[in-house]
Chains A and B, each alone.
Chain A
Amino acid sequence: MASPFGAQAPQGGLNIVVMDPAHGGTDPGARGTGGIRESEIVLDFAIQVRRALELQGFQVVETRQGNENPSFDDRSATANAQRGAVFVSLHISSTGLPGTVRVYVNSDLPPLADSNGLIPWDRAQAPFLGLSRTFGDLVQGLLVQRFKGSPETAQTASVRQLRTTAAPAIAVEISSVTVEDRADLDRMAPGVADAIARGAAAFKPAYVVPNSPGALP
C-alpha cells in the first residue's frame, strides 16, 4: 500500500499544473456534425493553456500530448505523482449554450475511512474537495467575465476523472461541438487559457502543499 510514486517536484508551494486533454486515441469524445472532434480540439486548447500557465511561472505536465487515450487511472497517476500540483481536465461538450464555459468539481465523496491512514485510490479526491471548490470558483469567476452566460461559480458533478485525483482538481467544459464553424471554438481558446492561468495564480497563495506526493492536504 506504499506510494508507488517517486517523482520529485520543485519545493515551495504550488508549482505544477497537470493538464489533461480529455479522450484521445479511439475515443473521440463529443463529435459535432461538422466533423469537430472533442479529442482534437482539447489538444489545441492545451497548447494555449500551457503557454498561459508558463507565463504565470507554472511548470506544466500533460497527461497526453498526442492522439493517445491514457486510462482514467493513468491520467490520475500522472497528477498523483506530483507534489505541489493542481489538475485541470479539458473538455468540449455536445450540448449547452455555445460560447459558455463551465467548471466542475467532483461531487461530495464519503470521508476517508482507511484505518491505515492511506488515501483509498478510488476516493483520492475526497480530502481535496474543499480546495478543488476554491480553485474551481476562482477559475469560473474569471471565465464568466469573458464568456457571458457561463455560471458564476463552479458546478458539482460526478466526474470519473476527478475522483481518483489526489490534488485540487477541476474539469473545464467548453460549449460546444455543435458550433457551425470551428473557428468559433478556436476564438475561445485564449480567454479560456488566460482564465485557467490566472485562476491557478490566484489559488497559489491559498494552497499549502503537502510534504509528499499523494499526501493529505
Chain B
Amino acid sequence: MTPRWKFWLIGGLVTAVLAAAIYFPILRRRVKRAARLQQQSEEQARRELTQPIVVNPGDPRVKTKLFWASDTIDSTLVPVTVELPLSNDPVLRSKQVLNTLLAGPVDAELRTLPPDALLLAFYLLPDGTAIADFSEALATSIPSGIVSEQLAMNSITRTLEANVPQVRRLKILIHGQEVETLAGHLDLTGTFVVNTGSPQSPAADKTPAPAPGPLTPEKAPGKLAQPERKP
C-alpha cells in the first residue's frame, strides 16, 4: 500500500469515528424518546381500559370513610369522611371507593397506595369473598417493608369494611396473578378478613382465632407436614 492510500484510509477511518461520536448521542436520545413514548402509550392504554367508574348522577351521595395515613401518629391510619355518589351495587360501590382510595388524599404524603397503581378488576362471589385485581404498580411501587405493606393492605380492607358490608373477605391479585407477597413481606397467598374491623392474616377465615398459646406442652407432639414446593 502506497503512503497516499494509507493517508486516505486513515483519514477515512478518523472521519467515520468522528461522525459516529457525533451521531451516537443523537441516536441514543432518539431511542430513549421512542421507549418513553411506548411506555406512555402502554400506560395510556391501561388507563383507558380501566377508566374510573362512571358516576351515575342518580346514585345517592353518601358519607364515605376512606382510610389514609395519619399525619400525627406514625404508621397508623385515620378515617377521612368524604361525600361521594355511590352505587348500591356492591361491586360498583367497591370499585368506586377503591378508585377514590387509589386517587389519594389531598396531601400526597398521606397516601397509602402508589399513585400509579390501578384497580384492574373487582369481583364479588356469593359467599362474600371479593377478588381485587390491581396493576403491577401496587407491588412494584410500594415502599418495601412490613410497616408500609401492612398499612397499604389495612387501608384497602378498612375502607371496604366501612363502605361495603357485603364484602366479607378479600383476595388480592396482581395483574391477574396470585403472588406470594406484596413487596417481599406481606403475605398475599390467602384472603384477608374485611368485616371484623381488624384485617387478619391470609388464610384466616371467620373461624375464631386460637386462644393465646400456653407456655407448656399441650398434647402429644405433632410433626410437620412436607412443604409444598413451587417450581
Contact = CB atoms under 8 A, between A and B. Distances in A.
B210 A129 contact: yes
A38 B75 CA distance: 19
**Chain B interface helix/strand/loop/mixed:** loop
Contacts of B185: 91, 157, 159-161, 171
Given A107-B204, A118-B222, A118-B224, A94 B145 contact: yes
Contacts of A214: 222-224
A114 B225 contact: yes
A149 interface: yes
A96 interface: yes
B74 A109 contact: no
B69 to A, nearest CB: 9
Interface residues of B, number: 48
Contact of B214 (A22, A31, A130, A176): A130
B74 A130 contact: no
A173 B222 contact: no
A163 B201 contact: yes
Interface of A: 1-5, 22-23, 27, 29-31, 38, 72-73, 76-77, 80, 91-97, 100, 102, 104, 106-112, 114, 117-124, 126-131, 133-134, 149, 157-161, 163-164, 166, 171, 173, 175-176, 206-208, 210-217
A216 B218 contact: yes
Interface of B: 74-75, 143-148, 150-151, 153, 180-181, 184-187, 189, 192, 199-205, 207, 209-229
Contacts, number: 187
A111 B201 CA distance: 13
Nearest to A80: B224
Contact of A157 (B143, B144, B150): B150
A215 B221 contact: yes
Given A94-B145, A208-B217, A121 B187 contact: no
Contact of B145 (A95, A121, A122, A158): A95
A160 B180 contact: yes
A112 B203 CA distance: 12
Contact of B203 (A38, A97, A123, A159): A123
A38 B148 CA distance: 15
A203 B137 CA distance: 41
A108 B163 CA distance: 24
A160 B181 CA distance: 7
Contact of B227 (A130, A157, A158, A164): A164
B148 A27 contact: no
Contacts of B210: 108-109, 111, 126-127, 129-130
Contact of A212 (B75, B221, B228): B221
23 contacts: A3-B223, A22-B184, A72-B180, A91-B185, A93-B143, A93-B146, A94-B148, A95-B148, A96-B74, A96-B147, A107-B201, A108-B201, A109-B203, A110-B205, A117-B222, A117-B223, A121-B225, A130-B212, A158-B186, A160-B185, A160-B187, A161-B185, A163-B202
A149 B201 contact: no
CB-CB nearest 9 A-B residue pairs:
A130-B213, A215-B221, A107-B201, A94-B143, A93-B145, A214-B224, A108-B209, A130-B212, A160-B187
